[in-house]
Amino acid sequence: MKHAHIAFIGGGNMATSLIAGLVADGYEPQRLIVSDPVPATLAGLRGRFGIRTVADNASALREADTLVLCVKPQVAASVCRDLAPAISERIGLVISVMAGVRETAIQRWLGAAIPIVRAMPNTPAMLQAGAIGLHASDHVSAVQRNEAETILRAVGMVRWMTDEDQMDAVTAISGSGPAYFFLLMESLERAGVALGLTAEDARLLTIQTALGAARMAIEGGDPPDVLRARVTSPGGTTEAALKVFATAGFGDLVARAATAARERAGQLSDHLTEQS
């Protein structure tokens, strides 16, 4: 299949993750173009992936069929409004990875009745191990949904959401989720050092354990609670540790953290919706 010409607006963490995944999946680098105001960012992307780069956003659109918005939500309105005059019929699809920015707001700022798909990937997309939530606005055709899905599938597993509000929950669970697992790794690593391991041993044992646990959960077919029970010998060491987690309200803490992330996505969305 011939790949689309894709223009990325904003060349930061998320654009880099997506580009890394797409290039690893066989996308021709010459079909990918990035615009970003920072010359060093563009030079880094050119050097690493051999893609094309430009300093101004409108120029990135010249040959593109698909536009991927990868800027921070806070600059979404001004970036889209500046892009509006450069939007032509050639652009068949806009994909936005911006947290908490609603499809109606993007439509309004771009000033064009253009099909929009919201995607919420996460940084493991860099290794083609991303988890991605997708939502399509009403006038996105099956062909355009397929196109968005093909691009995002190149960097991970995709799940379609039926309701745009669910994208805030996706953001809270898998968009921000890698940070939660990294936090647990950092804490476990520190605990290992406090218990007498070398820093290197604590880190390697922790990371390999995270990988092994994730692989068991994905490849084994048993749900996490069954896998956890299998590690937990009655009266044993795991049970002693899990009791501490339970007493401290670990489950509630995780639920509160995820709710805070979802509420922040909602706040961003309310705030941005007010910008005409």
Ligand X SMILES: NC(=O)C1=CN([C@@H]2O[C@H](COP(=O)(O)OP(=O)(O)OC[C@H]3O[C@@H](n4cnc5c(N)ncnc54)[C@H](OP(=O)(O)O)[C@@H]3O)[C@@H](O)[C@H]2O)C=CC1
Q: Which spans of this chain sit near ligand A1CAB (rule: CB under 6 A)? A: 99, 171, 175-176
Residue 44 interacts with ligand X (CB under 6 A): yes or no: no
Q: Closest separation between CB of residue 87 and ligand X, Å?
A: 15
CA angle 21–58–147, rounded 5-degree value: 40
206 or 269, CB closer to ligand A1CAB? 269
42 or 261, CB closer to ligand A1CAB? 261
Query: Residues 35, 15: contact at Cβ < 8 Å?
Result: no
Residue 249 interacts with ligand X (CB under 6 A): yes or no: no
Q: In the 8-state DSSP scheme, what is residue 28?
A: -
Q: Closest separation between CB of residue 123 and ligand A1CAB, Å?
A: 8
Dist. CA 102–CA 88, nearest whole Å: 22
13 contact, one of ligand X, ligand A1CAB, none, CB 5-8 Å limit per kind:
ligand X
Burial of 198 (0-12, 13-18, 19+ CB in 10 A): exposed
11 or 192, CB closer to ligand X? 11
Give the position of tokens 């099909």. 115
Residue 107 interacts with ligand X (CB under 6 A): yes or no: no
Residue 37 interacts with ligand X (CB under 6 A): yes or no: yes
Question: N- to C-terminal Cα distance for the chain?
Answer: 39
75 or 214, CB closer to ligand X? 75
Q: Closest separation between CB of residue 213 and ligand X, Å?
A: 21
Query: CA dist 256 to 175, 179, 184, Å?
Result: 16, 15, 16
Q: Closest separation between CB of residue 6 and ligand A1CAB, Å?
A: 20
Dist. CA 187–CA 30, nearest whole Å: 42
Residue in the shown chain whose Cβ atom is closest to ligand X: 12
107 or 171, CB closer to ligand A1CAB? 171
**Site stretch for ligand X (CB under 6 A), options 70-78, 156-164, 227-235, 247-255:** 70-78
Dist. CA 167–CA 13, nearest whole Å: 20
Dist. CA 28–CA 35, nearest whole Å: 17
Query: Residues 117, 140: contact at Cβ < 8 Å?
Result: yes
Q: Closest separation between CB of residue 8 and ligand X, Å?
A: 9
Residues of the shown chain interacting with ligand X in the complex, contacts defined by CB under 6 A: 9-14, 35-38, 41, 57, 70-73, 75, 79, 97-99, 120-123, 175
